[in-house]
A and B are shown apart, each in its own frame.
Chain A
Amino acid sequence: DVKVTQSSRYLVKRTGEKVFLECVQDMDHENMFWYRQDPGLGLRLIYFSYDVKMKEKGDIPEGYSVSREKKERFSLILESASTNQTSMYLCASSFREGGRTDTQYFGPGTRLTVL
């Protein structure tokens, strides 16, 4: 079974803090993704990565950055957390097939609250 783990299930931070969300997958997937999930807005892609040290902006990258130093690990960084970044954050991974993503496997999510 594919396993995608996220470092925290719940996180509470203060405005202006730097926040790190970690994601690890154990299936040697090339692709990794960070989404945020908000009611009525569905899943919105923040950043994704095809390979180590590679990153691509998604639909809503503002206020976020990412790091992929190892194939199995993909970190999402909030440089200076703001209250509008309060959300559920989902990590996913997949193989890459013919230039497209294959089935994505999701982590359990991190519910971040910024006060």
Chain B
Amino acid sequence: AQRVTQPEKLLSVFKGAPVELKCNYSYSGSPELFWYVQYSRQRLQLLLRHISRESIKGFTADLNKGETSFHLKKPFAQEEDSAMYYCALITDKLIFGTGTRLQVFP
């Protein structure tokens, strides 16, 4: 079955702390994964996709096929990173995880 799992509903950290948002997937083919972000009162937007292997707003994510994971990381969290984060897997459609709310306290 094709599935994306985000085990944490809420992650709270202090400004400057490292952040890791977990994402695991289940897919029989060659996976292609995204992270989407939704800031308060804004539309859902693409943060990064694994094939581009880039860092956006200080976030990176590495695909680990052995562990079937695509965790999102940032070494030093900022208050403006507070948002809802969704991991998604491409098939003929996007399969989303249930999302993790990141709260960064000052």
Contact = CB atoms under 8 A, between A and B. Distances in A.
A101 B45 contact: no
Interface stretch (A62-70, A78-86, A102-110): A102-110
A42 B32 CA distance: 19
6 contacts: A33-B94, A44-B96, A48-B93, A100-B90, A104-B46, A106-B45
A83 to B, nearest CB: 22
B92 interface: yes
Interface in B14-55: 32, 34, 43-46, 49
> Chain B, interface size: which category?
10 to 19
B45 A43 contact: no
Contacts of A103: 34, 46, 49
Contacts of B97: 42
Contact of A100 (B92, B96, B99): B92
A40 B43 contact: no
Contacts of A45: 93-94
B98 A101 contact: no
Nearest to B92: A100
Interface in A52-102: 58, 90, 92, 99-102
